[in-house]
Amino acid sequence: MQGVLIDLDGVIYENGQMIPGADKVIRWLQAQHLPFLFLTNTTSVCRQALVARLAGMGIIVTEQQILTPIVAAARWIERFCPGPVALFLPQASQVDLRLEPGQILAPDCIEDAACVVVGDLAEAWDFSVMNRAFRLLMSDAQPAFLGLGMSRYWRNEGALQLDAGPFIQALEYATGRDAWQLGKPVDDFFLAGARMLGSEPGQTLMVGDDMFSDIQGAQQAGMQTLLVRTGKFRMLDMERSTRPDGVLDSIAELPQWFTL
């Protein structure tokens, strides 16, 4: 294996608590000089906050070792979208878009966006917020529609919770438009991660707790996959047609898997 892509939520931590042994596994990867990258659909906080959260668990990495849909969106906007951007993203994560203040559309504006960016607003979603996104997308300006991460749900404080995917898909249904998706399970996102590691897709391993976003997505990108039985994992996942290359009780078992 030339590189390892690792999901964060449900694999490294859950409810802000490290999954036991995750820190040792990261130190093991570092000692093996095996390149790794955290590949997460998290759009609720910025990379700097993720680095600090991991450091609090004894996992020392840099922002460059974390790829999120917002980082992919920043590259996309820089290349294709010089005009005003309407953000449906928490304030805490917007910094990773590296926009100038004048590039962000005013929060009450429902026209003249060049791009509408939809991520994980969680509790901040309500009818008027959804309806503003809808109106912007339907406006004559025909703004680009970026969907950041099609994850369906995640596990928070012991219960399943809606992720960004269902909201993006609701807007797709209402507008009859397809979002330009950035993040898992889109294969380009996995391939971008592998490129950052200098790893061939077939020699890259994805470790995740989501059968759809992590496992199916990575397989479509030609990668090997490991499902962990932590986070959002449910026994029902094992009855799906998608088959990971291996199943671990938790990421703590990763070094053993390598020696099999």
The residues of the shown chain that bind Mg ion, judged by CB under 5 A, are 7, 9-10, 209, 231
The least distance separating Mg ion from the CB of residue 160, rounded to whole angstroms, comes to: 12
The least distance separating Mg ion from the CB of residue 114, rounded to whole angstroms, comes to: 32
Residue number, 7 or 237, with CB nearest to Mg ion: 7
- The CB-nearest residue to Mg ion is 10
The b-or-e profile of 24-52 (16+ CB within 10 A means b, else e) is ebbeebeeeebbbbbbbbbbbbbbeebbe
Residue number, 113 or 248, with CB nearest to Mg ion: 248
**Coil vs helix vs strand at 93:** helix
Residue number, 111 or 187, with CB nearest to Mg ion: 187
Residue number, 84 or 183, with CB nearest to Mg ion: 183
Whether the Cβ atoms of residue 118 and residue 69 lie closer than 8 Å to each other: no
Enter the DSSP assignment of 227: E
CA-CA distance, 55 to 252, in Å (whole number)?
A: 18
Termini Cα distance of the chain: 13
The least distance separating Mg ion from the CB of residue 81, rounded to whole angstroms, comes to: 29
Enter the DSSP assignment of 9: B
The least distance separating Mg ion from the CB of residue 120, rounded to whole angstroms, comes to: 13
